[in-house]
Amino acid sequence: MLKGITGQVNQGEVLAVIGSSGCGKSILLRCLNHLEAIDRGQIVIDGMDLSRLNLSQRQLRQLRSNVGMVFQQFNLFPHLTVLDNLTLAPEKVLALSPAESKDRAHYYLEQVGLIEKAKAYPDHLSGGQKQRVAIARALCMQPKVMLFDEPTSALDPELVGEVLEVMQQLGYVVEAGPAREVLTNPQSERLGLFLNRIRQLIAVFVNFGTLGYIHHVF
């Protein structure tokens, strides 16, 4: 049973919860996504009070579209391809068009290094690949909060590194500086490639001086 837990996590913060097996780490994360109901205390995420009884289905959908979760056991749908696993929730919950959801899925599969596995089924993936797909699936909802429930605990030791590397890249700041300098003279190849894709939009921002100081996060 969880008790005496008080704290606050601000936007952009990374918080790790450690403890012995069975101490309630997973239960705490499940409470944050309302997969477990709480019987006392208060949990508030982005203004939504999860301690209220009988949240409506609409409220639960709103919560879970903003709070992504990656589980220990992947929880991929075995009868769906990797691409279909990623597009299902954005289409059903966020009402994205099939074209929009596929574009988003391809983007995040590329981010986790698995774009070539888009048409594969989960049974044809290694454990590390399945977990990277699970991370990409959660990111496709573009949540405000990401919960990771011991995402490497079910993996063989040699597969742990590839998943941890993906997780470390999720909030990595590639470059920072004044807007005109970063947008017109990027120092990193990765940012340069990204900016090439949106050159016309950036020209509008720079010409009108609407950006003062930015950092780009991949």
> In this structure, is residue 107 part of a structural domain?
yes
Inter-helix orientation angle 127-139/82-92, to 10°: 20
Higher pLDDT pick, 173 / 58 = 58
Q: What is the pLDDT of residue 214?
A: 43
Higher pLDDT pick, 19 / 214 = 19
Whether residues 156 and 187 share a domain: the answer is: no
CATH number of the domain residue 88 falls in = 3.40.50.300
Whether residues 123 and 177 share a domain: the answer is: no
> In this structure, is residue 119 part of a structural domain?
yes
> In this structure, is residue 3 part of a structural domain?
no
> In this structure, is residue 13 part of a structural domain?
no
Share of the chain above pLDDT 70, in %: 79
The rounded mean pLDDT for the chain is 80
Q: What is the pLDDT of residue 81?
A: 97
- Count of structural domains within the chain: 2
Whether residues 95 and 185 share a domain: the answer is: no
Q: What is the pLDDT of residue 218?
A: 38
Q: What is the pLDDT of residue 43?
A: 87
CA separation (Å) from 58 to 3, 55, 92, 132, 137?
29, 8, 13, 29, 21
Mean pLDDT throughout 96-106?
Answer: 95
Whether residues 159 and 62 share a domain: the answer is: yes
> In this structure, is residue 160 part of a structural domain?
yes
Higher pLDDT pick, 77 / 162 = 77
Lowest mean pLDDT among 70-74, 140-144, 189-193: 189-193
Whether residues 61 and 133 share a domain: the answer is: yes
- Per the structure, the complete domain to which residue 184 belongs is given by 173-217
CB 146 within 8 A of CB 170: yes
Whether residues 117 and 30 share a domain: the answer is: yes
> In this structure, is residue 35 part of a structural domain?
yes
The answer to whether the predicted template modeling score (pTM) of the entire model surpasses 0.85 is: no
Mean pLDDT throughout 82-91?
Answer: 96
> In this structure, is residue 90 part of a structural domain?
yes
Mean pLDDT throughout 191-211?
Answer: 58
> In this structure, is residue 202 part of a structural domain?
yes
Beta-sheet pairing, 67-70 with 213-217: unpaired
